[in-house]
Amino acid sequence: MRVMFLYRMKGAFCGYLSHLLTVLFLIMIILILGNTTAGNPENVSSNVDPFRKYGIRMTVILYSMRFLIFLTLPLPLFNFLGIVLYNLFPKLPGMKGSLTHHPLICFRVVTKGLNPRLVNENVQKNIILCNSLGLQNFIFEIVTDKFIDVSRIPLVREIIVPFNYRTTKGSKYKARALHYCLEDDVNTLNDQDWIVHLDEETILTKGSVIGIVNFIAKGTSSFGQGVITYANEEIVSWITTIFDLSRVGNDYGILRFCLKYFRKPLFSWKGSYVVSNAGAEKKVSFDFGIDGSIAEDCFFGLTAWNQGYLFDFIEGEMWEKSPFSLTDYVKQRKRWIQGITLTFLSKHIPLKQKVGIFFILLSWVTMPLTASNTALVIMYPLPMPTILNFLCGFMGGVMMFLFIVGALKSFNFKRIGLWKFLLICFSSIFLLPFFVLAETCAVIYAFLTFRIIEFHTIEKERINNSSRRNSHIILSTV
């Protein structure tokens, strides 16, 4: 008993020490970038007149681009608070609930039925994990457009969405399938049961299952979400996987801070690793019409927040895969941009709930301009107040550090080797310009095709099937 206590104390101490060193590294990056942003003091003297040095038009452009970055200040600020205030290296969550005495947990996977082998394999993997932990009173529901024959697996229920099914408000795609599960003649869950929403490729971990059980036992929130990483299984595309490191950083930063501190999804949330009370989900529903059919996760989260439900962060990670190609990556981001834009423009969500996604959209639209500041501050130094120079360094440093956090949490240097781990960390920084380029392409693509509502399904299984690779549904709104 004493040995176990000392072992846990050692693990906790190492975790806090690693967190402290990581925070110090973040502060160092911010200070270095802040000093770089300030430029050479001899060239940026308060006596230097930039209008005379660069001309009126160029000076106005330079100052406009310099100040443009501050429009999205809340995003790096909330990411910074999430990274600094909460331990980045927590030990595996301890069991606070019961694996045997808890409400029914329904793991719900929504699929178009195009990857039956993938769904079968992952469902069986996840069931084996749950059984190995001793979890009881759980089922898996596979919601599909096409029959994929998973009901033969014990503890699995297959729900086929009828082709002619229509919701009251005309919801489409994943929202339509999710709402079908809530219909009285389909739903078999009680209001006290819980639903864990997963994607086709989502893999449970020991930590995530324990985190879900603890979240349910805590009983203070109706909805919760945790971190998803993208590099724990086979990596198909290293570039898109490195790009997705920023998503992991965002999960540990802005998502964790908002769900833990405010108990609200201030800046939206993801559509996978969502844990919902069945009764609360049925009241919120997924029937939002076409406005909530592209980014149904965002629309659902903001609607639930508006209805007064509380949220929380769930400890433990789940695993998924990044898009297999840059084309899929851009199309995936394009869908997110269009979906969040439709959510922002919807009249069914109050302005209060839209403030966070406004800053997200603003960051996407202004990303090419704000990213170019990195070069412009060196090429065209300007006299700026010290506090503004610091804020420029702060925002750039936090954005860069999200990739480092993602690498720290996605790759184990003991498993892949220290040198390869460092190479990945530095690669994420060197690839930043290409990340910005890919995101910019997605923004342009999204707004050029905004009159066409498209739900692109990215490739999730390595099978040579062109029809599967390009599968998507298009609905013209013209």
Domains and CATH numbers, the chain: 2-87+366-401 (no CATH), 105-351 (3.90.550.10)
Check: CB of residue 192 under 8 Å from CB of residue 311: no
Which pLDDT score is estimated for 374? 66
Which pLDDT score is estimated for 53? 86
pLDDT digits (tens, 9 = 90+) for 389-440: 788 889 889 999 999 999 999 988 777 888 888 888 888 888 888 998 999 8
Which pLDDT score is estimated for 155? 92
Q: Rounded to whole angstroms, how far apart are CA atoms 377 and 379? A: 6
| Degrees, nearest 5: CA angle 122-161-131 | 30
pLDDT digits (tens, 9 = 90+) for 221-252: 999 999 999 998 889 999 999 999 999 999 99
Please give the full DSSP string across 443-472, using - where no structure is assigned. Answer: HHHHHHTTTEEEEE----S----HHHHT-E
Which pLDDT score is estimated for 375? 72
Which pLDDT score is estimated for 213? 97
Residues with Cβ within 8 Å of residue 330, at least 6 apart in sequence: 438, 441, 442, 445
Which pLDDT score is estimated for 367? 79
Which pLDDT score is estimated for 7? 47
> Which is nearest to 308 in space by CA: 396, 222, 387?
222
Check: CB of residue 229 under 8 Å from CB of residue 245: no
Which residues of the chain register pLDDT less than 70?
A: 1-13, 37-47, 371, 374, 454, 463-478
Cα–Cα distances in angstroms (integers) from residue 282 to residues 178, 207, 221, in the given order:
10, 27, 15
